[in-house]
Structure 1
Amino acid sequence: MDAERYAALKGQIDHLYSLTGTGQWDKVEALLTDDFKIVEAETLPFGGVYEGKGALQALFTKVFAFWEDPALDYKDIAISEDNIIVLLSFHATSRFNGERLEMPLCEVFHLRDGKFSGITPYYFDTAAICRATGTPVDR
């Protein structure tokens, strides 16, 4: 991949993170395909499949209801033709028990025709998230 395409895609992912972080959902939706899909691990308290242009907002609303002061620390990025892989560190305080959680997170963004067609997140320890949110680990 050439440096120009890499820079453009990195800028696109940075822009998406900025828009979601500030709740600019109309602008977020413009970056997504109509059939956009997020697949979260079923064992998470917010697990399942979220579909459509409103999927990110629906997921954010559900996820952040469990946390106070959530933050993502951007670590690294890898880009291929159809995917952007972002390595992050997730930090938040549980609204359930006050536990401060910090863990590695990898988000794979899927691309199609210049737009985001989906996201597949991979949390380092889903059981720790369940414990911090009061969700049974063995669901």
Structure 2
Amino acid sequence: MTRSTTDPMTVLTAMYAAEAEYMAAGGPGSASFDLLAPFFAPDMVLHQAAGLPYGGTWRGHDGMEQFFLAMARTWESFDLMEQTFLATGDIMVVHTAVHARARATGRELTFPILQTITITGGRISEVHPFYWDTAAIAEACTASAVDQGASL
């Protein structure tokens, strides 16, 4: 992305391409967050549902780097299968079909995420993801005593 690019659709599609490159390079711990940093405002805010293993509010570049580490600890794979841009402008609305495999349990899920993504000055400044069923996602990511082979 050139620094003069402020078109929200260009910023977002370039960020998703950089994210794919980041993950292909090994993601957190292997690849540099510098691949993604130019797409996020230094004071950006990501709001994840509290019931998720990576739930909470993540702030700034350090927060985003920590978020990607939390995602890597949670998911063995997290593939964006199909994306539809439902609204474009300074606030984007994106519907994404995800197929993922939980690291702790090996369980696979396919689920939708609807996100509002705010672009300010050519950078992502705020993200609100909405999951259809956070309880199912959390359950798939949690190894129970039975999953771990423990006897009751």
The TM-score with structure 2 as length reference comes to: 0.76
Deviation at 1:92, TM superposition (A): 1.0
Of residues 123, 135, 148, the one that matches 1:115 is: 123
Distance in 2, matches of 1:135 and 1:79, equals 38
Distance in 1, matches of 2:115 and 2:54, equals 16
**What stretches of structure 1 of length at least 5 have no aligned partner?**
1-7
Of residues 72, 79, 85, the one that matches 1:64 is: 72
Comparing 33-42 and 48-57, the one that deviates more: 48-57
Q: Secondary structure at the match of 2:65?
A: helix
Of residues 108, 111, 116, the one that matches 1:103 is: 111
Which deviations, in whole Å up to 9, do the C-alpha atoms of 1:55-105 show, x marking residues without a partner?
A: 322211101211122201233103343211111011111222221111011
CA RMSD of aligned residues (A): 1.9
Whether 1:21 and 2:29 are equivalent positions in the alignment is: no
Aligned length: 129
**What stretches of structure 2 of length at least 5 have no aligned partner?**
1-6, 23-31, 145-152
Of residues 10, 16, 38, the one that matches 1:30 is: 38
CA contact (8 A) 1:75 1:89 kept: yes
Bigger-Rg structure (1/2) = 2
Identity %: 24
CA contact (8 A) 1:19 1:25 kept: no
Distance in 2, matches of 1:118 and 1:135, equals 32
Code of the residue aligned with 1:38 in structure 2: it is: L
Could you list the structure 1 runs, at least 4 aligned residues long, displaced by more than 6 angstroms after superposition: none
Return closer, same or farther for 1:97/1:122 CA change in 2, 3 Å cut-off.
same
The TM-score with structure 1 as length reference comes to: 0.82
Distance in 1, matches of 2:120 and 2:112, equals 26
CA contact (8 A) 1:85 1:106 kept: yes
Of residues 54, 60, 63, the one that matches 1:55 is: 63
